[in-house]
Structure 1
Amino acid sequence: METREAATDLWRENDYTMAAVAYFDMFGFSVYLRRSDTKIRDVLTWLDELDRETDEGLKRRHCASQLKSAVFSDCMVRALPVGISAATSVETLLLDAIRVQRRLTATVWTRKDQEFHRPELPVRGGINVGQLYWGGRHVFGEALVEAVDLEKKMAVWPRVVVDLDVELDQVDEWRYPPGFTDFFACGIDGFPLLLEDNGVRYLNYLAPIQTEFGEWSDMQFYNKYLRDHKSLILKFRESVQRSSQMMCIEGWAEYHNSVVRHLKEDRHASSYLSKKELLVDL
């Protein structure tokens, strides 16, 4: 298992650490690896870029330096120790999880003068806070077991479920410090979470964004992301064979459509696609 080691002053040696843990299952990763045009170098490039702390707002968060990440098979685990401020650690991990979802479902992510072509992998996952051991080649603990359980039993379609016991008092008004200029790491307009009638709480990673440059500083780019997201759903829907897989894709499409329908017409009118064109036919 390849792991990224971060500063270890908050991670206990030879003992459990109270940590916020995110577990992700990347849909279609094995198919992507079997493609003839997929090279090991390409996989390592986008994994490294995904892991790199390039966003100024995230780097300013002190606890972000404690972030650890591991990729194995078609799964990814990311964790932050809960230090002086548990809410800050949880908020940072939620921000990171949204960033992971957006970057892996985007066709191309541009940073400076470089373009990184993503494999377009929707992710399903779970986030929990609890005891975790992370040392060398070994990662285990109750928090990880429960995060995996959330993904397997509650996520159902590509989304990241947040355990109801996770304290979120200080992130109800989700606003980030100035400086978030990267689309995939900037603030979200409104709440970053959605709650179903059955009590399942999950990250609203498709919600419209807010930046220091204005409420919709790059609505056209956001519009393109939604268009690509729709295309990704259609591509996965064409490839599924089992009825259980189709139900998964339909749930994902319904979530996509709910976000598009909630876009305000006056804000959306300046972009180059109408809301109707962004909706997935069910």
Structure 2
Amino acid sequence: MVNSIVCAIDILGFSQMIVNSSKNGYGNNLLTEINYLINKNKQCIIPNKYSKGKIKIFTDNMVVAYPIKGDGEKELDEILENVAEYQFNLSLEGLFVRGGISMGDFYINEDKVFGSALLDAHNTESKIACYPRIILDNNTVSKVQTYMNHYDVAP
């Protein structure tokens, strides 16, 4: 496993969209539309080639992970900028997301995602975020406060 910054994102109301579209015979239409919207907007969230970040998308969930180099400030900055743009773009399409960001051990390959950072990000998303927003878990907030102490900014 690798020390990483992990963001778990969930499209809100997606399960109900599936139920409604399947019941009304529009399941394929929903799939086409959602694929189009996610593919169109995921360009802003794709990690740059230097960060070596990875993305996994399954149903209405996305996991974005960046391995941490050094103190992780650069990677945290990149993931925050990218997920904010992704969230904004999807909201313009009428899709709202909720997410959680955590730092810690994480593993990702073609088939699997695994690790405490994923569990913490998912728990933050599902139990704390509650509304359409992407929030940091407590450990990541502490890390941000440490970064801010290196700059001339008010707490």
- In the other structure, the counterpart of 1:122 is 96
Cα 1:130–1:46 shift into 2, 3 Å:
same
Alignment of 1:193-212 (within 5 A): none
User: Any conservation in 2 of the 1:32–1:38 contact (CA below 8 Å)?
Assistant: no
Q: How many residue pairs get matched?
A: 140
- In the other structure, the counterpart of 1:103 is 89
Give the root-mean-square deviation of aligned CA atoms.
Answer: 2.6
CA deviations 1:98-141 (Å, max 9, x no partner) are 112101110xxxxxxxxxxx3x2211111000000101200010
Alignment of 1:45-124 (within 5 A): 45-53=36-44, 62-63=50-51, 66-106=52-92, 118=93, 120-124=94-98
Q: In the alignment, residue 54 of structure 2 is paired with which amino acid?
A: K
Cα 1:54–1:138 shift into 2, 3 Å:
closer
- In the other structure, the counterpart of 1:154 is 128
CA deviations 1:52-98 (Å, max 9, x no partner) are 2599xx85x832xx221112122111111112351000111111111
Rounded Cα–Cα distance in structure 1 between residues aligned with 2:121 and 2:105: 11
Cα 1:54–1:82 shift into 2, 3 Å:
closer
Alignment of 1:1-282 (within 5 A): 16-33=1-18, 34=21, 36=26, 38-53=29-44, 62-63=50-51, 66-106=52-92, 118=93, 120-166=94-140, 167-168=143-144, 169-170=146-147
**Structure 2 unpaired stretches of 5+:** 150-155
CA deviations 1:239-270 (Å, max 9, x no partner) are xxxxxxxxxxxxxxxxxxxxxxxxxxxxxxxx
Greater helix percent: which structure? 2
**Structure 1 unpaired stretches of 5+:** 1-15, 107-117, 173-282
Structure number with the bigger relative contact order (C-alpha 8 A, sep ≥ 6) is: 2
Rounded Cα–Cα distance in structure 1 between residues aligned with 2:121 and 2:133: 13
Larger Rg: 1
Q: In the alignment, residue 121 of structure 2 is paired with which amino acid?
A: A
TM-score normalised over the length of structure 1 = 0.45
TM-score normalised over the length of structure 2 = 0.77
Percent identity of equivalent pairs: 25
